[in-house]
Amino acid sequence: MTEKHIVLEDVDLVVFYGINNANIQMIKALYPKLRIVARGNVIKVMGDEEEMCAFEENLTAIEQHCIKYNSLQEEDIIDIIKGKKTKKDSVEGVIVYSVHGKPIMARSENQQKLVEAYEGNDMIFAIGPAGSGKTYTSIALAVKALKNKEIRKIILSRPAVEAGEKLGFLPGDMKEKIDPYLQPLYDALEDMIPTGKLQEMMEQNIIQIAPLAFMRGRTLNDAVVILDEAQNTTTAQIKMFLTRMGLNTKMIITGDMTQIDLPPSVRSGLAEAVSILKGVEGISFIQMTQKDIVRHKLVTRIVEAYDRHDQETAALRKKKMQAAENPAVFTELRRMERELTTINVSNQNKKHIKNESIDSNQF
């Protein structure tokens, strides 16, 4: 009788063993000639050597299925041992699976372009409005590469810039001070990697989350590196970040040019990088639009409303500049403003008369 120890390295043991150890009990039932004892991440097998070879091969396939899909059902175990494809194997276009086994895939045309650009380029700029899936899709691509052992680590970064308000002194150590800025990245990772495994990966620096200021002097090899909220970088910061790129590394830079939180006198490093790096081989630019927004439907309407307001404001500013140079344009602009004021006053008067009529009818 031969004895062998098999170590489960990358799998989430809770998912692998199943509720009340249902999965491992199923595996034991399918190999009645073997004595199988599971302790933690080690499975001890005793029995016929030929039978053990088949068992080890199938166990590895079951482990890989569990790692890839973050789920394992009894029917999956039976299909794998029988040499068949599982139901999830037949689904196409999936980037990675969530911790609940839900497929994460591109949900719009430009998200699909981002996925394709990742395959063909080492540096990708994904620019677009809030909720268009820039960061989430990018992190999904990074998690997929890590699970497939294409890279050895994931590095996520964003500038620690407050969104229009001063938070003042923050208590705690360095990690506790910067964590609030990096929470959106944690949220995305927790969707794709089980909590225990994620904590382990972060402790081992396989997954690193750091503010942009900590990147200087590093060379990032064998990694997917994501810079989020890049619109809030300065020219010097984004140049520093882009030049950290090492061997076997891909970089994804995401940002929304309509949500810049830098002082008015400081130009966004993302805007400058896009204009400078256009046409450079190996760099791809993906422009997201309102059609790519996958949050609540109101988010799309809000973004569109602000875009219209910005366009109207820009048009009025342009006319005022022309008016300063051309008296005729100035006269026309004043006339338009008076007409607009008259219309607004008229509408208010009508509303006031209507309200008075309603009040009189009540009496």
Domain range summary for the chain, segments of one domain joined by +: 2-90, 94-294, 299-362
Residue 49 pLDDT grade (very low, low, confident, very high; cuts 50, 70, 90): confident
Rounded Cα–Cα distance for residues 56 and 5 (Å): 10
What letter would DSSP give residue 245? B
Q: Which fold has domain 94-294?
A: Rossmann fold (3.40.50)
Question: How confident is the model over 294-351, as pLDDT tens digits?
Answer: 767 777 778 778 878 878 787 777 776 766 666 666 666 667 666 666 655 555 555 4
List the one residue out of 254, 218, 217, 251 whose CA is nearest residue 233: 254
Dig out the tokens for 186 from the structure. Answer: 């944690």
Q: What is the pLDDT of residue 360?
A: 46
Multiple choice CATH, 2-90, 3.40.1160.10, 3.40.50.720, 3.60.9.10, 3.30.1370.10:
3.30.1370.10
Question: How confident is the model over 73-110, as pLDDT tens digits?
Answer: 888 999 998 888 888 877 788 899 888 888 898 988 89
List the one residue out of 284, 351, 318 whose CA is nearest residue 121: 284
pTM for this entry: 0.71
Q: Which long-range contacts (CB under 8 A, 24 or more apart) does 12-16 make?
A: 12/66, 12/70, 12/194, 12/196, 12/197, 13/40, 13/41, 14/194, 14/196, 15/66, 15/70, 15/71, 15/72, 15/194, 16/62, 16/63, 16/66, 16/72
Phi, psi (deg, nearest 5) at residue 244: -85, -5
* 3-state class (DSSP) for residue 228: coil
